[in-house]
Structure 1
Amino acid sequence: MYSQPSLLPRQDPDAPIRQTDNDAAVARLSAVQKHYLDDLFVKHLVPRAHLQPNRPPLINIGTYIRTRGIEDLVDGWLSSAKKQGKKCQIVSLGAGSDTRFWRIATGPHKDTLIKYVEVDFGEITSKKSMSIMKNRELRDVLGGSNHIQITEGGTVLHSRQYHLLAADLRRDPVDTLQEPLTIPSHGSQEPILSPQCPTLLLFECVLAYMEVNVSSRLLQWFVDYFSADGGGAPLGCVIYEMFGLNDPFGRVMLNNLRARSVTLPGAEPFMTLDSLVERLLKTGFHKGWALTLKEIRKSYIEPEELARISRLEMLDETEELELVLAHYAISWSIFVPTAEDKEKWGDWGLKEKRKHEEEGLSFS
């Protein structure tokens, strides 16, 4: 006699990566509940939000610094467009449960934003579209149910201003992004993404999960689209990711992630801030910059704001916080097709608030 092998379900290799989105959403919810951040919408996109425990101070502070750095860059892009009397587009790749669209659409820059596009795995976009349709507060910002179209089995959502697309970003963008972004559809005469409109790309903990040649191909596709036919509008890019993982602390981070079946093929090759910038320049961007979260905390956030968050919770792990912040970076870059654009967009970027160490200030 013999026994048949048990028919166990195959484990989805991407499930651990998708789980990191829930981790980030819960961390943001915690930072909001502890008053580090303001976000009226995050509770609608976190399952059982009222039952989620708060995260430790180290995670709350890290979430705040990450969010503040990215939001300053996004706000700066929108402000630059507004000064020039232009509308702009934002494309968030690997957006997950992010609420940035709703925050912009109900904030001071709502009239500057013409399109907001989010792209992620279909498993994630289907959950997000379902959350949107279930929640009136989210729907109303999109114009209400009558102005929302759900397609592709619930994985794709279109409204006048906001578009949620399903795609595996590791595949060739010619096969996954070109048609939905650049070919007019859904009764429109224009594509979702116009190369003649200033556009900002956002990658928050996304490129680290794909091979470098794959992420470079993705970045290059956007640069090519905005430089075709003699050039279009300025294209900005903001990337948040881990880096410098070749030291003892970085190896511990990698081992902890591997224990959860998560690998970082797109982060391990980048050991320095210069290497993060070089990657962007090689894909066609004209200028690039990079800062660690440690540097942003020290010099790119107002002292009074640092003092405020230092009063929210007692932090015992000051040294660990410094180590963690030193292994995450925000890099940003810009592609400007004309000399006139170089002058108008040349000052976009994070601005130093104060050199805290030189001032003798400490916010540990």
Structure 2
Amino acid sequence: MSKNKWTNKDIFSLMEEWAPKHLAYEWDNVGMQVGSHNRPVKKIMVTLDVMESVVDEAISEQVDLIIAHHPLLFKPIKRLNIDQSKGRILQKLLQHNITVYAAHTNLDIADGGVNDLLLDALDIKQRQILIKTYEEPLYKLAVYVPATHQKQVMDALSLKGVGHIGNYSHCTFQTKGQGTFMPLEGTNPFIGSQNKIEHVDEVKLETIVQHSKRKDAIIAMLGAHPYEEVAYDLYPLENKGKAYGIGRIGILKEKVSLQSFCEQVKQALSVPAVRVVGDSQKEIKKIAIVGGSGEKYINQAKQQGADVLITGDMTFHTAQDALQMGLAIIDPGHHVEKVMIEGTINYLQRKVNNEQLEIIPSKISTEPFQFI
């Protein structure tokens, strides 16, 4: 994809290809937080949090768009007091025409999102979802195509990613038959003449369509089909679609002690210290990870056979519960979600492939804790 001029809406669309908004939890507030969909953008800054110091940095860097993980706005604003930090943040953003976009729990859940980026940092390849939160509905598209344009329509659908079953693409079933129709007054038929019944050798082309690709599939099919009026059906299936979820379960290449693995976590995630629950000499092989605050998932981690759960914001009584059930805990803090900064920059740079759009990381640390 290459463009001479980008708008915020273009970048939002790219982010939602990666982390669709429908993956987010209902309580979450993702998407545009402040600003405009239609303003042009030449410079993007990626940050974990939108704090006042980050906004000041964006102003200094002449940034048009801030992409953050944690939403700036969670609850409705009842008053805008510029004597307080939140009010000043909003005032500065509006005064300097800076738009803010948040990808939060949808980016946690997305393939290649925060939890996968954390596992990438730990060099853990073998992984699966910890808790399923969404299963994409599937549909069957059946379209009747003249035999002469069968390949043309199939290729157009395939280019849009339609027709995937597991690790197989271009999945279709094609049935030969004969179509009939009579063009009436006012038509401009591709085949046949007005007021005369036509018999045409056609193919019924059937393929599977993901919920998120329905619109693209119909547009691609109609664009490639030669008929003025296209006969097609789109209906829901009971088949199970791709599953998405929060957290990941991963398998280490070999067993290590909890203490040794803590050192790996500290180095990989660039943290000076971690809080640990469990016997430091316990052998670790299967790990669960939930970026941010994941203490409520200790039971799911244990049920799936995890030896240790890596997550932030662990509280006292939940840590006791984990200890009692034999689940080790490594708490490297909430701020390790900063992996999304580099991950988002790399993703967008691959997508835009355009020197006219500059994408930079925020240099401001939003970690509130110090280790003394």
TM-score by length of 2: 0.27
- Kindly indicate which of the two structures has a greater share of residues assigned to strand: 2
The one of the two structures with greater contact order (alpha-carbon pairs below 8 A, sep at least 6) is 2
- Kindly indicate which of the two structures has a greater share of residues assigned to helix: 1
